[in-house]
Amino acid sequence: MDIYKKSITELSELLNKKILSSVEMANYFIKRINSFDSKLNSFITVDEEHSKKQALYADSLIAKKQNTFLTGIPIAHKDLFSTKNILTTCGSKMLENYIPPFDATIVCKLNNAGMVTIGKTNMDEFAMGSSSESSYFGSVQNPWNIVKVPGGSSGGSASAVAARLTPVATGSDTGGSIRQPASFCGLTGLKPTYGSVSRYGMIAYASSLDQCGPIAKNAEDCALIFDEIKGYDHNDITSNHEVKQEKINLQISKDEVKKITIGIPKEYFSKDLDKNISDVIFQAVEIFKKLGFKFQEISLPQHNLTIPAYYIIASAEASSNLSRYDGIKFGHRCNNPKNLEDLYLRTRKEGFGREVKKRIMIGAYALSAGYYDEYYMRALKIRRLIRDNFISAFDKVDYIFAPTSPSTAFNIGEKTSNALEMYLSDIYTTPVNLAGLPAASIPVGFNDSLPVGMQIIGNYFSEEKILQIANIFQKETDWHLKIPKEFDNE
């Protein structure tokens, strides 16, 4: 039946027609995890008993016809979403044994819709990274080529969906962690407008940038998950009332398409971008032109300031957010501390990995008296300029196309010793977070047998249109249907 290939809509049909029960569907995907994940390390936790309980409940809802469209569909959550009674590690030794007493809002909403959590996915420690190599639980492999990284920090979620070990997964995106792994793994990922999805129960990295969203096979599945998780939440003071409550309609008429102008930022397609990647993107642009979209070159002049500003702001917020891991409130605690200072020092030394410690130090430095104005305040000013660049661009064009990453998936170990090179891989994704805008990454082709992703960036709260644009392209092409060979069997 090739169940692993099916979209959420197709799986839902199997459940509703009683061709398969939710319990059978959960077992099917858990069996795939058991047979394939030793090659990928994409899961940290698979809780069969919990999944079975949820699946039985989903079956009872279907039997009583009280089901939603998502009832009984398996999902994997990035391991930074708090899941009640299920281990939530954030990829860190610090939280190696942390079992939250509550569910994150998005987990709660998806549970209420009847979805079945089949596991928690591996990730860069505290979501800091672009390769999923900084996890305390070992690096994740890319199903397209297991010597390559799957991207990060939501690399476990992307790797698992790409290998079809789960139909869909959640991710978080502070500077690209949904879009970049989606692009490295040939998937569709949506980073919503800042504030349109609640961050409550999502372990914080950089609170003014963090936003969660789906990593899926196609735009349609992203829309179904986004519809369920979006909306105001009184538990998150930054969640926004402006999010449209109506369900997303993916249909877009030819007339509407003709009215859409898409901007191509000239700074993004400079010599810094691998020529093969820009070729693949421009082939996709040709398809969009045939569909009736108009294109125009635009400029985002402060592009070159993005990475320094992002890494100062993200590290500053991280140093503050991670101060809670002190060996007292929760998480790891060192053995036999001599005094309070020893407790703090050894707990944090033992509990955090290298990358996390580095960010805390950069952040604390940037926030310290004497350096605050020079680093943190200046980074905030750049952030405003970057946002203003986008606002002026949206006066001229409706949407912006951009590469997701300057390269395709790189080798495991290739960039671990060169932090700057690793940080530069976020050059096209971080501006979107600094501005708080929504963007999706969609697969648009291959280079050297590895997937290439392209971003569709929109103005605030334009998720519906972004997904319509992604969907119309996916009706014309089949990049999103490609499956890595080794995992393309039952």
Question: Rounded to whole angstroms, how far apart are CA atoms 335 and 333?
Answer: 7
CB-CB neighbours of 225 under 10 Å: 27
Complex with ligand GLN: residue 21 or 306, whichever CB lies closer: 306
Q: What is the DSSP letter of 443?
A: E
The distance in angstroms from the start CA to the end CA of the chain is 9
354, containing H or E segment? helix 354-367
Structure tokens at 59: 């079956």
Least distance from C-beta 311 to ligand GLN, angstroms? 7
The residue range among 81-89, 124-132, 160-168, 299-307 that interacts with ligand GLN, by the rule CB under 6 A, is: 124-132
Per CB under 6 A, the list member of 83, 89, 132, 174 interacting with ligand GLN is: 174
Question: Rounded to whole angstroms, how far apart are CA atoms 319 and 20?
Answer: 48
Interaxial angle between packed helices 463-476 and 219-229, expressed in degrees from 0 to 180 and rounded to the nearest 10? 160
The residue range among 83-91, 169-177, 265-273, 468-476 that interacts with ligand GLN, by the rule CB under 6 A, is: 169-177
Q: Fill in the amino acid letter for 474.
A: Q
Pairing relationship of beta strands 261-265 and 188-191 according to DSSP bridges? unpaired
Q: Which positions from 425 through 454 interact with ligand GLN, judged by CB under 6 A? A: 426
Q: Does 117 bind ligand GLN (CB under 6 A)?
A: no
Q: Does 104 bind ligand GLN (CB under 6 A)?
A: no
Q: Does 173 bind ligand GLN (CB under 6 A)?
A: yes
Q: Kindly list the distances between the CA atom of residue 25 and the CA atoms of 56, 66, 74, 77, in Å, as whole numbers in the listed order.
A: 11, 19, 8, 17
Contact code string over 275-304 relative to ligand GLN, x by CB under 6 A: ------------------------------
The residue range among 51-59, 171-179, 342-350, 383-391 that interacts with ligand GLN, by the rule CB under 6 A, is: 171-179
Complex with ligand GLN: residue 199 or 465, whichever CB lies closer: 199
Per CB under 6 A, the list member of 73, 127, 229, 273 interacting with ligand GLN is: 127
Complex with ligand GLN: residue 115 or 229, whichever CB lies closer: 229
Per CB under 6 A, the list member of 177, 278, 302, 474 interacting with ligand GLN is: 177
For every residue of 213-252, DSSP letters joined together read EEEESSHHHHHHHHHHHBS--TT-TT--TTS--SPP----
The residue range among 23-31, 123-131, 246-254, 388-396 that interacts with ligand GLN, by the rule CB under 6 A, is: 123-131
Hunting for tokens 């020529």 — which residue is that?
275
Q: Is 445 left (phi over 0), alpha (psi -120 to 50) or beta?
A: left
3-state helix, strand, coil in the chain (%, to 5): 45, 15, 40
Check if 5 is active-site.
Answer: no
Number of residues that bind ligand GLN (CB under 6 A): 14
The residue range among 14-22, 68-76, 90-98, 121-129 that interacts with ligand GLN, by the rule CB under 6 A, is: 121-129
Structure tokens at 136: 């305390």
Q: Does 182 bind ligand GLN (CB under 6 A)?
A: no
Q: Does 134 bind ligand GLN (CB under 6 A)?
A: no
Check if 153 is active-site.
Answer: yes
102, containing H or E segment? none
Task: Out of 177, 196, 198, 462, pick the active-site residue.
Answer: 177
Give the rounded distance of the alpha carbon of 246 from its chain centre. 23
Which residue ranges make up the site for ligand GLN (CB under 6 A)? 127-130, 153, 172-177, 205, 314, 426
List the catalytic residues.
78, 153, 177
